[in-house]
Amino acid sequence: MEGEEPVSLQRMATLIWELQRTIQDAKRDIHHRFDHLEERLDHIQMQLHALQQEQERYNGRQRSVEQTVETSRRLGEQTLGRFGDLEKEMDRVIRRAGAEADRRLDRIEATQREILRELEQTYGDLRTFRREWRADSGGRHPGRQEKGVPLADGQAGQADLAGGAPPPLPQEQPPGRGAHTISPEGRADNRKEDW
């Protein structure tokens, strides 16, 4: 335009270098966030594995208690002849063992629900982050204009470069819950979205 001084080659080179640095910073941030999400998923998987092992140990102890009660019943009938008193004692033992088993099972189930909620939230955050990033960048690096394709609102073009302002990074939205669901059996539904 008349009256405007042409942008020097040095200024244009500086602007291009600043744009490249901004893009590299954005890439590093994306990789860092993905690594953090992967670490969270690994931690959750380790917790689930530990919970499964604890449940297996609980089942083994329960079977051992049942076998002990049955053995005690048979020995009592054969040796003491006091089946009535022994049965009352065994009922008390069974009730105590059952109450303790119920409490332990409640704790295990509460822990499992918490882990599944965290897993659901993590998958939802991951999908939301990917959708937002792709929506903000349009599948291209910010500030890049393809031949014959007009820039969308908010993207940097030649006018922005001439004005000396580097393009802003996409605004980050707060993470939302994803569409992750829990199956009736209590397992996480890990089906991926089509994106």
Per-residue pLDDT reduced to its tens digit, 105-139: 899 999 999 999 998 998 889 999 989 888 887 75
Q: Which residue has the tokens 């829990």?
A: 182
Q: Between 156 and 99, where is the model more confident?
A: 99
Summarize the confidence of residues 158-183 as an average pLDDT: 46
Assign residue 138 a region (left: φ > 0; alpha: ψ between -120 and 50; beta: otherwise).
Answer: left
Give me the percent of the chain exceeding a pLDDT of 70. Answer: 63
Residue 170 is predicted with a pLDDT of 47
Quote the pLDDT of residue 58: 87
pLDDT tens by residue, 32-71 = 988 888 898 899 889 889 988 988 888 888 888 888 888 8
Q: What does the pLDDT read at residue 6? A: 61
Say if CB 161 and CB 175 are below 8 A apart.
Answer: no
- For the chain, how many residues are written? 195
pTM: 0.31
Q: What is the chain's alpha carbon radius of gyration, rounded to the nearest angstrom?
A: 32
The predicted model gives 73-96 an average pLDDT of 76
DSSP state of 138: T
DSSP-assigned letter for residue 63: H
Packing angle of the helix pair 83-137, 9-75 (nearest 10 deg): 170
* Residue whose C-alpha is closest to residue 108's, from 149, 38, 173, 48: 48
CA distance 57 to 62: 9
Give the DSSP letter of residue 189.
Answer: -
Query: For the residues 167-177, what does the mean pLDDT come to?
Result: 48
Which of 168, 169, 179, 166 lies closest to 131 in space, CA to CA? 179
Range with lowest mean pLDDT among 8-12, 33-37, 138-142, 153-157: 153-157
